[in-house]
Amino acid sequence: MAKQIKGVYEKVYECAKKEFLSKGFKDASLRNIAKEAGTSTGSIYTRFHNKEGLFHAIVYPVVDELKSWFLEVQESFHKKDSDYQKKNMFHYSGMEAESFVAYIYDHYDVFKLLLECAEGTEFSDFLGHLVEIEMEYTVKYMEATKDDALKNKTITSEFLHIVTSSYFSGIFEMVRHDMKKEDGMLYAKQLREFYYAGFAKIYNWK
């Protein structure tokens, strides 16, 4: 068996990110990636099986870590009693939103790939999965706090899904617009306050 050259796969990852960011998944070329990385397409196929396997290897660890963290945050808050949830929902979500945005900037290139270059891969609906998690725990929050907004049709499930989707899409606009971290953190704070004000109006919160 041929000995693997130290650092070759780190170089493959680096060159693959560059190729995918430049051309998107569909038009990216394994031949170009191999050439830039100083290796062969055969070695890439051996390690990653195909182009999608290479894309998966780059983005999956970040996606998996984010989703695990997001679920943990949601579950931790849901385990609190209803009074705590009512009093601390906005404050708690604000603290976690800051961590969410910081994580995005820690893995900026990967999120750029997910948002702009993932068409044709298993990650093309990455945002949709986050929305579903948020929807699930929003409903749990309503049930725990005896919020009858859905039952009495103050809001509908369709409205809730659309607003949640637009919020997450809005968060990731900082990546699409190539905002610097400082600007992105401020933008995310303003966006959260904007959505909170909308719900405050609907619920007539004081």
pLDDT at 6: 54
Q: What is the pTM of this model?
A: 0.86
**Residue 138 vs residues 75, 78, 144, 147, 161: alpha-carbon distances, Å:** 11, 9, 10, 10, 10
pLDDT tens, position by position, 131-171? 999 999 888 888 888 888 888 888 899 999 999 999 999 99
How much is the pLDDT for 5? 54
Arch. (CATH architecture) of 7-49? Orthogonal Bundle (1.10)
Tell me: the pLDDT tens digits for 42-89? 999 999 999 999 999 999 999 999 999 999 989 998 898 988 888 887
pLDDT of residue 206: 52
| Cα–Cα distance measured from residue 161 to residue 60, given in angstroms and rounded to the nearest whole number | 25
